[in-house]
Structure 1
Protein backbone atom coordinates (compact mmCIF):
# COMPACT_ATOMS: atom_id res chain seq x y z
CA UNK A 1 0.00 0.00 0.00
CA UNK A 2 3.03 2.31 0.25
CA UNK A 3 2.88 2.85 -3.53
CA UNK A 4 -0.11 5.21 -3.35
CA UNK A 5 0.91 8.64 -4.63
CA UNK A 6 -0.38 11.41 -2.34
CA UNK A 7 -2.36 13.81 -4.52
CA UNK A 8 -4.91 15.54 -2.25
CA UNK A 9 -3.15 18.34 -0.43
CA UNK A 10 -6.43 19.95 0.67
CA UNK A 11 -9.81 18.26 0.92
CA UNK A 12 -12.38 20.30 2.81
CA UNK A 13 -15.88 18.93 2.33
CA UNK A 14 -19.15 18.63 4.19
CA UNK A 15 -22.44 16.75 4.04
CA UNK A 16 -24.14 19.68 2.27
CA UNK A 17 -22.16 19.05 -0.94
CA UNK A 18 -19.69 21.91 -0.47
CA UNK A 19 -16.02 21.20 -1.04
CA UNK A 20 -12.69 22.80 -1.85
CA UNK A 21 -9.80 20.57 -2.84
CA UNK A 22 -6.25 21.13 -4.00
CA UNK A 23 -4.90 18.20 -6.00
CA UNK A 24 -1.30 17.64 -7.07
CA UNK A 25 -1.33 16.42 -10.67
CA UNK A 26 2.40 15.80 -11.15
CA UNK A 27 5.68 17.50 -11.91
CA UNK A 28 5.39 20.59 -14.11
CA UNK A 29 7.10 19.78 -17.44
CA UNK A 30 8.00 23.45 -18.02
CA UNK A 31 9.53 24.16 -14.59
CA UNK A 32 11.48 21.48 -12.77
CA UNK A 33 10.93 23.16 -9.39
CA UNK A 34 7.14 23.12 -9.71
CA UNK A 35 4.20 20.78 -9.39
CA UNK A 36 1.13 21.06 -11.57
CA UNK A 37 -1.93 21.26 -9.34
CA UNK A 38 -5.53 22.39 -9.38
CA UNK A 39 -8.01 23.97 -7.01
CA UNK A 40 -11.47 22.44 -7.39
CA UNK A 41 -14.56 24.08 -5.89
CA UNK A 42 -17.83 22.14 -5.79
CA UNK A 43 -21.12 23.33 -4.33
CA UNK A 44 -24.75 22.65 -5.21
CA UNK A 45 -24.77 26.19 -6.67
CA UNK A 46 -21.40 26.69 -8.38
CA UNK A 47 -18.50 24.48 -9.40
CA UNK A 48 -15.21 25.17 -11.06
CA UNK A 49 -11.48 24.62 -11.08
CA UNK A 50 -8.30 26.54 -11.71
CA UNK A 51 -4.79 25.35 -12.45
CA UNK A 52 -1.81 26.41 -10.40
CA UNK A 53 1.83 25.52 -9.91
CA UNK A 54 3.09 24.61 -6.45
CA UNK A 55 6.72 25.01 -5.38
CA UNK A 56 8.45 23.58 -2.32
CA UNK A 57 8.14 27.01 -0.66
CA UNK A 58 4.36 27.11 -1.31
CA UNK A 59 4.03 23.65 0.23
CA UNK A 60 6.05 24.81 3.25
CA UNK A 61 3.88 27.92 3.59
CA UNK A 62 0.77 25.67 3.56
CA UNK A 63 2.29 23.61 6.42
CA UNK A 64 2.87 26.88 8.31
CA UNK A 65 -0.71 27.99 7.59
CA UNK A 66 -1.99 24.73 9.09
CA UNK A 67 0.00 25.37 12.26
CA UNK A 68 -1.55 28.85 12.49
CA UNK A 69 -5.05 27.38 11.95
CA UNK A 70 -4.31 24.89 14.73
CA UNK A 71 -3.47 27.88 16.96
CA UNK A 72 -6.88 29.41 16.19
CA UNK A 73 -5.83 31.95 13.53
CA UNK A 74 -7.49 32.57 10.17
CA UNK A 75 -5.03 32.19 7.30
CA UNK A 76 -4.33 33.31 3.76
CA UNK A 77 -2.30 31.00 1.52
CA UNK A 78 -0.56 32.15 -1.68
CA UNK A 79 -1.98 35.66 -1.32
CA UNK A 80 1.16 37.43 -2.57
CA UNK A 81 1.81 35.11 -5.52
CA UNK A 82 0.57 35.42 -9.06
CA UNK A 83 -2.36 33.11 -9.46
CA UNK A 84 -5.14 32.01 -7.14
CA UNK A 85 -5.20 32.55 -3.37
CA UNK A 86 -6.97 30.63 -0.62
CA UNK A 87 -8.22 32.11 2.64
CA UNK A 88 -9.56 29.97 5.45
CA UNK A 89 -11.67 31.63 8.11
CA UNK A 90 -12.31 29.40 11.11
CA UNK A 91 -15.63 31.12 11.82
CA UNK A 92 -17.12 32.61 8.67
CA UNK A 93 -20.31 34.50 8.01
CA UNK A 94 -22.43 31.39 8.65
CA UNK A 95 -20.78 30.46 11.98
CA UNK A 96 -18.75 27.66 10.39
CA UNK A 97 -15.38 27.53 8.65
CA UNK A 98 -15.29 29.28 5.30
CA UNK A 99 -12.89 28.85 2.41
CA UNK A 100 -12.44 31.77 0.04
CA UNK A 101 -10.80 31.06 -3.31
CA UNK A 102 -9.78 34.15 -5.24
CA UNK A 103 -8.38 34.37 -8.75
CA UNK A 104 -7.66 38.09 -8.85
CA UNK A 105 -4.92 37.93 -11.50
CA UNK A 106 -6.79 35.65 -13.91
CA UNK A 107 -10.56 35.44 -14.03
CA UNK A 108 -11.05 38.10 -11.31
CA UNK A 109 -13.56 35.75 -9.61
CA UNK A 110 -13.88 35.12 -5.88
CA UNK A 111 -15.82 32.17 -4.47
CA UNK A 112 -16.77 31.87 -0.78
CA UNK A 113 -17.56 28.31 0.34
CA UNK A 114 -18.86 27.52 3.84
CA UNK A 115 -17.83 24.02 4.95
CA UNK A 116 -18.36 22.05 8.12
CA UNK A 117 -15.37 19.70 8.13
CA UNK A 118 -14.84 16.91 10.68
CA UNK A 119 -13.42 17.91 14.06
CA UNK A 120 -9.96 16.53 13.25
CA UNK A 121 -9.61 18.27 9.88
CA UNK A 122 -6.52 20.31 10.78
CA UNK A 123 -4.60 17.23 12.02
CA UNK A 124 -5.74 15.34 8.91
CA UNK A 125 -4.43 18.16 6.69
CA UNK A 126 -1.14 18.29 8.57
CA UNK A 127 -0.71 14.59 7.73
CA UNK A 128 -1.72 15.24 4.10
CA UNK A 129 0.82 18.07 3.88
CA UNK A 130 3.58 15.88 5.31
CA UNK A 131 2.80 13.01 2.87
CA UNK A 132 2.66 15.34 -0.16
CA UNK A 133 5.93 17.07 0.78
CA UNK A 134 7.74 13.79 1.55
CA UNK A 135 6.72 12.32 -1.81
CA UNK A 136 6.92 15.30 -4.17
CA UNK A 137 9.57 17.73 -2.88
CA UNK A 138 12.52 15.35 -3.49
CA UNK A 139 11.45 15.21 -7.18
CA UNK A 140 11.75 18.98 -7.59
CA UNK A 141 14.94 20.58 -8.88
CA UNK A 142 16.54 23.42 -6.95
CA UNK A 143 15.96 25.86 -9.82
Structure 2
Protein backbone atom coordinates (compact mmCIF):
# COMPACT_ATOMS: atom_id res chain seq x y z
CA UNK A 1 0.00 0.00 0.00
CA UNK A 2 1.24 3.52 -0.83
CA UNK A 3 2.32 5.71 2.05
CA UNK A 4 -0.30 8.36 2.76
CA UNK A 5 0.77 11.97 2.30
CA UNK A 6 -1.34 14.92 3.51
CA UNK A 7 -2.71 17.21 0.80
CA UNK A 8 -2.88 20.97 1.20
CA UNK A 9 -6.01 22.12 -0.61
CA UNK A 10 -5.14 25.69 0.41
CA UNK A 11 -1.67 26.93 1.25
CA UNK A 12 -1.33 30.70 1.27
CA UNK A 13 1.65 32.41 2.83
CA UNK A 14 3.50 35.69 2.65
CA UNK A 15 6.75 33.80 3.27
CA UNK A 16 7.15 35.49 6.64
CA UNK A 17 4.61 35.37 9.45
CA UNK A 18 1.17 35.13 7.83
CA UNK A 19 -0.30 31.91 6.46
CA UNK A 20 -3.52 30.00 5.94
CA UNK A 21 -3.31 26.25 5.31
CA UNK A 22 -6.19 23.81 4.83
CA UNK A 23 -4.58 20.34 5.03
CA UNK A 24 -6.01 16.83 5.03
CA UNK A 25 -5.18 14.92 8.19
CA UNK A 26 -6.21 11.42 7.15
CA UNK A 27 -6.46 9.26 4.08
CA UNK A 28 -9.83 9.49 2.33
CA UNK A 29 -11.92 6.37 2.83
CA UNK A 30 -13.77 5.12 -0.25
CA UNK A 31 -17.48 5.84 -0.10
CA UNK A 32 -17.10 8.72 2.37
CA UNK A 33 -18.39 12.16 1.40
CA UNK A 34 -15.66 13.98 3.29
CA UNK A 35 -12.07 13.93 4.38
CA UNK A 36 -10.94 15.25 7.77
CA UNK A 37 -8.75 18.34 7.66
CA UNK A 38 -7.13 21.05 9.75
CA UNK A 39 -7.28 24.75 9.01
CA UNK A 40 -4.11 26.33 10.35
CA UNK A 41 -3.89 30.11 10.62
CA UNK A 42 -0.69 31.88 11.59
CA UNK A 43 -0.06 35.59 12.03
CA UNK A 44 2.32 37.51 14.23
CA UNK A 45 -0.43 37.67 16.88
CA UNK A 46 -2.52 34.50 16.33
CA UNK A 47 -1.78 30.82 15.92
CA UNK A 48 -4.97 28.79 15.45
CA UNK A 49 -5.79 25.25 14.39
CA UNK A 50 -9.38 24.35 13.59
CA UNK A 51 -10.44 20.77 13.01
CA UNK A 52 -12.82 20.64 10.06
CA UNK A 53 -13.90 18.58 7.06
CA UNK A 54 -13.43 18.99 3.34
CA UNK A 55 -16.68 17.86 1.75
CA UNK A 56 -15.99 16.36 -1.65
CA UNK A 57 -19.18 17.80 -3.12
CA UNK A 58 -17.73 21.29 -2.40
CA UNK A 59 -14.64 20.79 -4.57
CA UNK A 60 -16.39 22.15 -7.69
CA UNK A 61 -17.29 25.27 -5.68
CA UNK A 62 -13.60 25.71 -4.81
CA UNK A 63 -12.72 25.39 -8.50
CA UNK A 64 -15.30 28.10 -9.30
CA UNK A 65 -13.94 30.29 -6.47
CA UNK A 66 -10.45 30.00 -7.98
CA UNK A 67 -11.86 31.08 -11.37
CA UNK A 68 -13.46 34.13 -9.76
CA UNK A 69 -10.26 35.01 -7.90
CA UNK A 70 -8.25 34.63 -11.11
CA UNK A 71 -10.57 37.23 -12.67
CA UNK A 72 -9.91 39.58 -9.74
CA UNK A 73 -13.34 39.01 -8.18
CA UNK A 74 -14.22 38.27 -4.56
CA UNK A 75 -15.02 34.67 -3.68
CA UNK A 76 -16.15 32.65 -0.71
CA UNK A 77 -15.93 28.94 -0.06
CA UNK A 78 -17.77 26.77 0.70
CA UNK A 79 -21.12 28.37 -0.07
CA UNK A 80 -23.82 28.04 2.59
CA UNK A 81 -21.69 25.98 4.91
CA UNK A 82 -22.58 25.71 8.59
CA UNK A 83 -18.95 25.15 9.46
CA UNK A 84 -15.76 26.83 8.33
CA UNK A 85 -16.17 29.50 5.63
CA UNK A 86 -13.41 31.39 3.89
CA UNK A 87 -13.86 34.76 2.16
CA UNK A 88 -11.26 36.08 -0.28
CA UNK A 89 -10.87 39.63 -1.57
CA UNK A 90 -8.06 40.17 -4.10
CA UNK A 91 -6.61 43.67 -4.35
CA UNK A 92 -5.21 45.22 -7.53
CA UNK A 93 -1.77 45.53 -5.93
CA UNK A 94 -1.49 41.72 -5.49
CA UNK A 95 -2.54 41.59 -1.84
CA UNK A 96 -5.23 39.18 -0.73
CA UNK A 97 -7.57 39.84 2.20
CA UNK A 98 -8.97 36.68 3.77
CA UNK A 99 -11.68 36.26 6.36
CA UNK A 100 -11.86 32.94 8.21
CA UNK A 101 -15.20 32.35 9.85
CA UNK A 102 -16.24 29.38 11.94
CA UNK A 103 -19.54 30.17 13.68
CA UNK A 104 -18.74 28.15 16.78
CA UNK A 105 -15.08 29.02 17.30
CA UNK A 106 -13.40 31.89 15.44
CA UNK A 107 -13.68 34.82 13.09
CA UNK A 108 -10.41 36.28 11.90
CA UNK A 109 -9.29 38.58 9.09
CA UNK A 110 -5.80 38.55 7.64
CA UNK A 111 -3.97 39.95 4.67
CA UNK A 112 -1.02 38.66 2.74
CA UNK A 113 0.72 38.96 -0.58
CA UNK A 114 0.76 35.49 -2.18
CA UNK A 115 3.12 34.52 -4.97
CA UNK A 116 2.00 35.50 -8.47
CA UNK A 117 1.46 31.78 -9.26
CA UNK A 118 -0.86 31.12 -6.33
CA UNK A 119 -3.97 30.44 -8.43
CA UNK A 120 -2.13 27.86 -10.59
CA UNK A 121 -0.67 26.26 -7.46
CA UNK A 122 -4.14 25.96 -5.92
CA UNK A 123 -5.60 24.46 -9.07
CA UNK A 124 -2.82 21.83 -8.85
CA UNK A 125 -3.62 21.30 -5.14
CA UNK A 126 -7.27 20.76 -6.04
CA UNK A 127 -6.32 18.13 -8.61
CA UNK A 128 -4.01 16.39 -6.08
CA UNK A 129 -6.89 16.16 -3.61
CA UNK A 130 -9.26 14.86 -6.28
CA UNK A 131 -6.71 12.23 -7.26
CA UNK A 132 -6.15 11.22 -3.62
CA UNK A 133 -9.90 10.86 -3.12
CA UNK A 134 -10.58 9.07 -6.42
CA UNK A 135 -12.61 12.05 -7.65
CA UNK A 136 -10.75 12.64 -10.95
The answer for unaligned runs of 5 or more in structure 1 is 139-143
Please show how residues 1-143 of structure 1 align to structure 2 within 5 Å.
Answer: 5=5, 7-27=7-27, 32-91=32-91, 96-104=95-103, 106-107=104-105, 109-138=106-135
Name the SS for the 1:37 alignment partner. Answer: strand
| Counterparts of 1:34 and 1:56, CA distance in 2 | 5
The answer for unaligned runs of 5 or more in structure 2 is none
Q: CA deviation at 1:113?
A: 1.1
After the TM superposition, list the runs of 4 or more consecutive aligned residues in structure 1 that deviate by more than 3 angstroms: 2-6
| Counterparts of 2:86 and 2:34, CA distance in 1 | 18
| Counterparts of 1:37 and 1:129, CA distance in 2 | 14
Equivalent position of 1:141 in the other structure: none
TM-score, scaled relative to structure 2: 0.86
Name the SS for the 2:124 alignment partner. Answer: helix
Structure ranking higher on relative contact order (CA contacts 8 Å, 6+ apart) = 1
CA RMSD of aligned residues (A): 2.4
Q: CA deviation at 1:91?
A: 1.8
